[in-house]
Amino acid sequence: KFDGTVVKRFAQAGAVLLGKLQQTEGAFADHHPDIEVPVNPWNSKHWSGASSSGSGVATAAGLCYGSLGTDTGGSIRFPSAANGNTGLKPTWGRVPRYGVFELAGSLDHVGPMTRSAQDAAAILSVIAGQDKNDPTAVPGPVPNYMADLDRGIRGLRIGIDSKFNSKGVDATMKQTVKDAAKVLKDLGAELVPVTFPSCDQIVDEWGTLCAIETAVAHAATYPKQKAKYGPALAGLIEAGRSVSAMEVQRANTNRQEFNGRVATLFENIDMLLIPAQYMASPTKKQMATLGEDANALAMMLRFTAPFDYTGSPTITLPSGFTKAGTPVAFQLVGRHLQEDVLLRAGHAYQQVTDWHKAHPKI
């Protein structure tokens, strides 16, 4: 047994480590049948997010200063949105993954889930940076994320694709993004109309690559210990084991092309404003049947998986509540290694709004 790099860095910085939190099996979509699912502290009938469900719940409930999550297709952002947290998915490689069990190595990100952007900046300052045990960790010095928090966002260019943000998106989430845009504009940001590259095929192929990489990660125990696996994770691994070399190459080529298009888009903007997800605060009942509807599943991943594909940093910010009293949120996506800009934007937003200060009654 050994501690992962991020755990060691917390300890070295003097943090009090409270323990481990619940998550879905293998950091994929569903909790193992033998494990109790963490309860959304705002409303027990609503989804608590996946895969870092325990992190989202514990942070929202005030059981900890902050927590860590991993994000391969949305697993920091979904629990953050569901529970009213500020969730930061750093650039791929910004935070070392040594000691983190893989779901899909080229898609896996490690990041903080906190109450505020300021808290997220404090945690990222501790856990980010190159690591001799993780050759994929980004080399070079780590910025002082706390130092520039108060610089504001005046003059920053925020891209908005109104069509991308509204297609198939429910009314609550549409309004959430519009309200966020107004606040950001009032803070001095310039809102820039953009066209986000088509990502329907990318979302589908994200599933292909995730399945392949998961099958590789579990090669030592699957199918040898298949009986210990829950149905969702086993199904993903089986799918990965059946993918052809042609499909792998096609998906990788399309990924490179998509990443290039997104990089070109960010040549003209500092950030992209998008919904956290296509429907506000889904119930557990809605999520239980989501896998039966391919279109709904694709929509759920539409605003998250593409940015695991590109490795782009994102910040999820609480921005209101539904009629059921559950949180809603939006996302800002940034340029590679510009987490400092996202944290500045999040902090500026939270200086003039109080959504992140709300706490559930437990």
Residue ranges per structural domain of the chain? 5-357
Whether 359 shows a pLDDT value over 80: the answer reads yes
Q: ∠ CA(337), CA(339), CA(341), 5° rounding?
A: 115
* Mean residue pLDDT across the chain: 95
Question: Which residues, at least 6 apart from 204, have a Cβ–Cβ distance to it below 8 Å?
Answer: 298
Q: What is the pLDDT of residue 226?
A: 96
For 258-263, what is the mean pLDDT? 98
Q: What pTM value is reported for the model?
A: 0.96
Q: What is the pLDDT of residue 5?
A: 98
Whether 271 shows a pLDDT value over 70: the answer reads yes
**Residue 29 pLDDT level (bands cut at 50, 70, 90):** low
Question: Which residues, at least 6 apart from 307, have a Cβ–Cβ distance to it below 8 Å?
Answer: 89, 314, 333
The verdict on domain 5-357 having CATH code 3.90.1300.10 is: yes
* Cα distance between residue 65 and residue 219, in whole Å: 36
Return the percent helix, strand and coil in the chain, to nearest 5.
Answer: 40, 15, 45
Query: Are residues 57 and 100 in contact, defined by beta-carbon separation less than 8 angstroms?
Result: no
For the chain, the first-to-last Cα distance in angstroms comes to: 36
